Amino acid sequence: MTMTLDLSPSASVDLPFYQPTGMECGLFETAYENGLPLLLKGPTGCGKTRFVEYMAAILGKPVYTVACHDDLSAADLIGRYLLKGGETEWVDGPLTRAVREGAICYLDEVVEARKDVTVVLHPLTDSRRTLMIDRTGEELAAPKGFMLVASYNPGYQNVLKRLKPSTRQRFLSISFDFPEPEVEIAVVSAESGLEPGRVAPLVRLAGHIRALSGMDLEEGVSTRLLTYAARLMASNMSVDQAIQVAIIEPLTDEPDVQQALRDLVSTIYG
């Protein structure tokens, strides 16, 4: 049975702010109802994590978020024996807790994790939906409410850090990108409290930066950074200073590139 979500402002659920941009909410709901894992693909700061928080709130599910990194191992997800009060005690990791509780487990930037992590995920992402805890010999069957969600940024993939096809093809996938300007203005304004008229030039600046080529920028400015800048401006910081500390400095350490970005700011703001 498919649930019908009430996404209206009058909905009684206390939701994190998220502005849907397409069919992503319905796709998440369908994946959840069918026990299917979901992979979110898109640039840093475009709203993937907020989307998961939003959908978890709508569904009334707890969410265990894991920020993946180079040293994240399977044991960090599953759990380990720890010494407590002179005795050795098993402590569940976030993935195990999510499976036991029928919660959502969100692996942010899963491509950054060690290779043994994907081996653990495979039985949870096919018809078995099981998690094997080798240390205890326990095999957990994921209940209906459990959902595995992962995300990554395809722009950061390289030869050493790449999701194998055998892993990618176990997930449904949704591609995310930065929203259209009018939507991004509404998002940044709602998140920062800065009026839309003052947010619009920031969003226009972001569009120009994202369109730049031939500069030493790994990625364009995120919606998150625009919100930071807008919050500083709403706190009466000058436009130039807010953009410098919230956008230019986080994007690059190169003095020449920073100057080029400041020149771009001057053309936007006059």
Out of 175, 202, 229, pick the residue that ends a domain: 175
pLDDT band at 244 (very low <50, low <70, confident <90, very high): very high
Out of 175, 203, 221, pick the residue that ends a domain: 175
Residue 35 lies in a domain: yes
Residue 17 lies in a domain: no
pLDDT band at 218 (very low <50, low <70, confident <90, very high): confident
pLDDT at position 269 over 70:
yes
Report the half-sphere exposure of 83 (CA within 13 A, side-chain side).
1
Q: Report helix, strand and coil shares of the chain as percent, to nearest 5.
A: 45, 15, 40
Q: What percent of the chain has pLDDT over 90?
A: 74
Residue 13 lies in a domain: no
Q: Residue 149 pairs with which residues in a beta bridge?
A: 38, 106
Between CA 152 and CA 11 the distance in angstroms is 31
Helix axes of 196-211 and 181-192: crossing angle, nearest 10 degrees: 130
Amino acid at 247: I
Between CA 48 and CA 110 the distance in angstroms is 13
Tens-place pLDDT, residues 152-185: 988 765 545 678 888 899 999 999 999 999 999 9
Q: 18, exposed or middle or buried, with CB in 10 Å at 0-12, 13-18, 19+?
A: buried
Tens-place pLDDT, residues 119-139: 899 999 999 999 999 999 999
Tell me, what CATH number does 69's domain have? 3.40.50.300
- Find the mean pLDDT for residues 62-86: 92
pLDDT at residue 156 in the model: 63
Helix axes of 24-33 and 48-59: crossing angle, nearest 10 degrees: 50
Out of 133, 156, 175, pick the residue that ends a domain: 175
Residue 146 lies in a domain: yes
Tens-place pLDDT, residues 28-68: 999 999 999 999 999 888 999 999 999 999 999 999 999 99
Number of structural domains, the chain? 2
Which DSSP string do the residues of 120-131 spell out, in sequence order?
HHGGGGSTT-EE
pLDDT band at 106 (very low <50, low <70, confident <90, very high): very high
Between CA 124 and CA 147 the distance in angstroms is 9
Residues 259 and 147 in one domain: no
Q: What percent of the chain has pLDDT over 70?
A: 91
Amino acid at 8: S
Residues 34 and 143 in one domain: yes
Tens-place pLDDT, residues 187-206: 999 999 999 999 999 999 99
CB 23 within 8 A of CB 30: no
pLDDT at residue 208 in the model: 94
Query: E strand or H helix at 62, and its extent?
Result: none
pTM, to two decimals? 0.85
Residue 8 lies in a domain: no
